[in-house]
Amino acid sequence: MSESAASEAALAADEERWRRLPSWLRPRTVELKGSGNLWLIETTLLVLVGIVLATATINDVARQTGINHRLIADLKTWRHYTGHDYHNISVDQETLGSASQREVLCGNTSPGGPKARTQLCLAIWGPVVNGRRSVHGGWYLPPYAEDLPSERYGCFGAAAQGRCPR
Amino acid sequence: MSVAVQSGRGVAAVRSQRWAPALAALLALLLILAAAEIVIDGAAGLSPLIPKSPDIASWLGGIGERLGYRVFLIALLVSTGAYAGLIALARRAASPISTRWAIVLVAALQLIVFAGPILLSTDVFSYIAYARMGVEHGLNPYTHGPVAIASDPVFQYVGHDWELVATAYGPLYTLLSYPLALLGVVGALWAMKLEALLASAGTLALVWRCARVRGFDPVAAILVVGANPLYVIYGLGGAHNDMLMMLAMMAAVSLTLMRAPSARREAGAAAWVVAGALIKATVAVLLPFMIVSKRRLAPILGTVAALALGALAGYAAFGIHGIDIVAALNRDAAFVSTDSFANEIAHLLGKPGVFPVDHDLLKAGLVLILLHLLWRTWRGYDWVAASGWALLAISVTSTWLLAWYILWPLPLAVVTRDRRLLLATLAVQALFIVHQISPLLAPVQ
């Protein structure tokens, strides 16, 4: 007996077996008809979910773009303040509060690899004016040091009060 | 009057027949150029979009420039636009895209990405690290993170976030990756890339077959999957093991769509789903839909047999941790990615991010969706479509959303009659792409 013939025979036996079961238990080849509203309800819900997701996405893009604009102003401020056109500048949004829109930017004071020289950290916040924001203080870090309170020295300005151990 | 209208429509149809092939060729060319641009610029090295990697694409170096966000995002948007246009053309009654050209285009896209560097993700280095932990260092990748082999040459390429994390992949995948560790880091990297490429080719062949069996245009189906920018650039570009998982998933679907179904094939289909789950657990969500739809003993027996075999092999190779997939899933479910919709909605509601209670709400929402889909499947709704919706719901409700997760429902969406699934999947992918564009609007330098 060929495989397809055997398979058909098995299927026929299967069908026979299913007939003994109540109709609601048998496997279906087509979906049961409902009141007709199910498709409409599902589609409406899908469209609503889609609108929420699209709104959230666009809101998030606008939010990220706003953050990027602020970071661009901060980087410009650091470069203007120090007179160095460096690109390896780290930006920390946590030290002064993650939702505060206040940032700490640290970069080398002389040419070198990332964090390879004495670093100058600036606390920057306020509105963007002429593409820059205000510097409210800062501190220095030794080469290769992370911005931890124990590493800071030479604190200056209002923002740095109480942030230097020495 | 009606003759004039008909004649006008006829002229428009003839014109459209004339320009459609040219437009399709232009869109195909744009897709290829965008992929080539990303790969060639990516090969130039030193890019935030290209993970630190052994030099496998130096032969392409010197042609392009360092890949920045601007070029990448423009190429991604061009790809997306060209893909949308191509799909619209392919799904017309008189498609201007021949079978041969569709296969050539899809193959060209896959080969371009295969030839280049690893794109956008360090995951493949974690796969290699887990394999080397077992083969070269005698460590169990289910109990140690890659940091345990910090002196190994692959460690420097593992993503910083994953250095301490033990593998979350299934024991079958880990065992499959073990022989590749013997090839060295560069050899293993090429092997992983080849594995992803072959898995993709297999998935596309099965998509073709399933589409034909179900009476859909197979050319449109393989274009929707194989030319998809997220599939090509993120999925294949990162050599993700999701490609293997999708191959197992489509093997299961294909077996259930045979013209003469048999108990053996249905058991085999269930076993393929289990094999997929032993690669990456997510695909296990197909099983309840398959079982509820078939209402036969065979898929249950296939599941139990494959699971017993997999658990035995996993336990023998890795101990109890090798089969504790639930713990790994729970751990990963707690992660939050910036691209997740949950995170975006939290921001929309003025919250800084996702809180633990949000995880519970999302899980509850997912359970409700799965129950609704099971109820629909019980009433006769297509189990393949229900599985696609389930995979889409998992990715949308996950707080840890990555581009390759929203590929999961795509091969299922092109072989189901519920067109809403394909629309929803592509809409979610489009939103993901839109979410990437802020560096284009305000580039930070």
The pLDDT of residue B287: 95
- Here the tokens at position B357 are 């209670």
Give the model's confidence band at B210: pLDDT under 50 very low, under 70 low, under 90 confident, else very high: very high
B22 within domain boundaries: yes
The CA-CA-CA angle for residues B110, B80, B214, to 5°, reads 70
Nearest to A56 among B293, B348, B437 (CB): B348
Picking from A64, A65, A77, A88 by the largest number of B CB atoms within 10 A of its own CB, the best residue to mutate is A64
The pLDDT of residue A13: 61
pLDDT tens digit string along A51-99? 999 999 999 999 989 888 888 999 999 999 988 888 888 888 777 766 7
B143 within domain boundaries: no
- Specify whether the CB–CB gap between B183 and B191 falls below 8 A: yes
| Assembly ipTM | 0.87
B163 within domain boundaries: no
- Specify whether the CB–CB gap between B28 and B86 falls below 8 A: yes
How close A90 comes to chain B (CA, Å)? 12
B159 within domain boundaries: no
Sheet-wide strand order for A153-156: A90-92, A103-108, A119-129, A132-141, A153-156
For chain B, list residues whose CB is within 8 angstroms of any CB belonging to chain A: 260-263, 293-296, 341, 343-345, 347-348, 352, 376, 379-382, 396, 420, 424, 427-428, 431, 434-435, 437-439, 441-445
Nearest to A57 among B262, B295, B344 (CB): B344
Q: Do B294 and A27 touch (CB under 8 A)?
A: yes
B220 within domain boundaries: yes
The pLDDT of residue B443: 76
The pLDDT of residue B232: 97
The Cα–Cα gap between B240 and B158 comes to 14
Domain count for chain B: 1
Closest Cα to residue B249, out of B301, B217, B218, B284? B284
pLDDT above 50 (res B278) = yes
The pLDDT of residue B331: 76
b/e sequence B76-87, b meaning 16+ C-beta within 10 Å? bbbbbebbebbb
Stretch B296-312: mean pLDDT, rounded? 91
Which residues lie closer than 8 Å to A77 by C-beta, 6 or more apart?
A: A105, A122, A124, A132, A133, A134, A135
How close B252 comes to chain A (CA, Å)? 18
The pLDDT of residue B6: 52
B156 within domain boundaries: no
Cα nearest neighbour of A28 on chain B: B380
- Here the tokens at position B203 are 């998935």
Q: Do A7 and B345 touch (CB under 8 A)?
A: no
pLDDT tens digit string along A132-162? 999 998 999 999 988 888 888 988 888 777 7
The Cα–Cα gap between B363 and B358 comes to 8
Using the Cβ of A75 and the Cβ atoms of chain B, whether some distance falls under 8 Å is answered with yes
Stretch B402-426: mean pLDDT, rounded? 95
The pLDDT of residue A85: 84
Enumerate the residues of chain A whose CB falls inside 8 A of the CB of residue B352. Answer: 98-99
B372 within domain boundaries: yes
Q: Phi and psi for A126 in degrees, rounded to 5?
A: 100, 180
How close B303 comes to chain A (CA, Å)? 19
Look up residue B188 and give its amino acid: A
Q: Do B296 and A27 touch (CB under 8 A)?
A: yes
The pLDDT of residue B254: 94
Stretch B251-276: mean pLDDT, rounded? 89
The Cα–Cα gap between B355 and B359 comes to 7
pLDDT tens digit string along B118-148? 999 999 999 999 999 999 999 999 988 999 9
Q: Do A54 and B431 touch (CB under 8 A)?
A: yes
The pLDDT of residue A15: 63
Higher pLDDT pick, B195 / B92:
B195
Give the model's confidence band at B1: pLDDT under 50 very low, under 70 low, under 90 confident, else very high: very low
Enumerate the residues of chain A whose CB falls inside 8 A of the CB of residue B437. Answer: 61
Domain hosting residue B282, numbered range: 3-123+182-441
What is the rounded average pLDDT for all residues in chain B?
A: 90
The Cα–Cα gap between A100 and A93 comes to 8
Q: Do A10 and B262 touch (CB under 8 A)?
A: yes
**The residue count for chain A:** 166
Cα nearest neighbour of B295 on chain A: A27
Higher pLDDT pick, A41 / A36:
A41
Rg (CA), chain A: 33
The pLDDT of residue A1: 44
What count of other Cβ atoms lies within 10 Å of the Cβ of residue B371? 10
B170 within domain boundaries: no
pLDDT above 60 (res A10) = no
pLDDT above 80 (res B216) = yes
pLDDT tens digit string along B46-68? 788 899 989 888 888 778 788 88
Give the model's confidence band at B285: pLDDT under 50 very low, under 70 low, under 90 confident, else very high: very high
| pTM for the whole structure | 0.86
b/e sequence A81-119, b meaning 16+ C-beta within 10 Å? ebebebeebebbbebbeeeebbbbbbbbeeeeeebebbb
The Cα–Cα gap between B313 and B146 comes to 23
Higher pLDDT pick, A110 / B93:
A110
Nearest to B379 among A29, A32, A61 (CB): A32
